[in-house]
Structure 1
Amino acid sequence: MAETLPKWPKGRVTFLFTDIKDSTVRAQTYGDLVYDAQLRGPHHERLRSVIHVHTGRFFQDKGDGVVAVFEHPTDAVACALALQRSFRDDPIRVGESGPPLTVRMGLNTAPEDQNLHPDDPERPQYLANALNYCSRVEGPADAGQILLSDETKSGLMVGFEQTYNATFHPWPGRKLKSYSRGHTLWDVLYDGREPKEPGTPWIPLSALSPRRAGVRGVTEARGARRASRHPPAPPPTGLFAQSAAPRLYRAV
């Protein structure tokens, strides 16, 4: 019997980005065939199963990680916690003595409504900005770590900590690739996990030496001009395509 999937989320959806830690090293150590069969494949199967249990949808396969989408941030963060606990308690590894596979995760909630395709509810289309920002939130995460954007943290249900046995540690003023100013990331702490500083702090121009401030100011100005002339590249081709402005990611 075919699996019954949840409906595609809409509205202010929450995205989950995952990535296998040290995937390149593992693939080089074991070879592509073993890596795919014993690590990446079982990892993807578990992700799909747990995502669907938490009423999310598997949106994109990005190689050593996935993108999932949920209608509510509480479901998304609950899913991330369930996945991290699963990888810890029932590790995926090569053989009996290989190091366990570890995953890093980041979540972001769209600041505006994301809609389904007007003619086909099974063809979701999501604005690119919220997805791109989610990828930046996931970027500095470490093995076993879950990082949230401010939008996701503020949207969680009252009593989330007690219900899911987790707390949150803020990391303000973090530097995110391709974004100016500092951003607050929330470290999800569970089962005795200690806070771990993600990435590097954002240093304002006023705190830099005149020479470094001048170099960065010129670099950022050039980047802004280039971005205004050339929109960011679309996601990898294949299962998903990008529509015309406003930039959307949609399933085809």
Structure 2
Amino acid sequence: MIRTGVVLIALLISACSSHQSKRYQHHQDFTPDAVVDVSSIREAVPVAEPRSLLGNPESYKVRGKRYRVMTEAAGFTEDGIASWYGSKFHGYRTSNGEIFDVYKMTAAHKTLPLPCYVRVTRKDTGESVIVRVNDRGPFHEGRIIDLSYAAAVKLGIDKAGTAPVHIEVVEPPHRDSVLWIQAGALSSGERAEQLKKRLADITAGKWPVTINEKQKGDLTLHRVRIGPIAAGKANAVVEQLEKAGISPTVVLMQHQLDI
């Protein structure tokens, strides 16, 4: 059984690096037909997850080069070039056995343990996104991370194809910690009160809903938030809000509340 597992891992990783026509329906990668609305894209929310059974061998070899998979990701940072991959790979399995979806905030990295979460920051613009790493690659010299198409659009590199970035691993909060979900930052106090009432109705009053005012120059923002919420339940609440048509949302830790 152990040998079978090792073989499966090797096959998945090598398949993800292959460009053979037998592996994919299309030879060249391409953008999806559907236009991505950046405002509707939600960042990946770091949660504690076990290591995947697939995609985490001690080491593996691609194109004659051996890569050693990290056993611990905490504190890891890296600088280099980010690229993205799209519809050619949509619907195929990632290295850890999941199905690749161009519209999800995911990424591929050569040596980070799967899955894990990283913040990707463009060095030229300062824009950043959080993605969930669930695949291996990119196997091109100088490139350190391959983003899903959605993540590339969110970061603004879908047109250029690549960009210089800094990546850092984001540790998920402890299961017993708490989070807040910001559903809106409105200039109108009246609209903020309306949103507050709607959030209370959607969540059936399970968690406090508050309005936090923040001065931005001459503008007062009314930030409508749900929380504190147990970290392990935050994703379910975000999904509940999305089903009710409230998105995107921002998940905040306690030290981010006054930013």
- Category of TM-score, reference length = shorter chain: under 0.3
Q: TM-score, normalised by structure 2?
A: 0.24
Q: TM-score, normalised by structure 1?
A: 0.25
Higher percent of residues as helix = 1
Higher percent of residues as strand = 2
- Rg: which structure is higher? 2
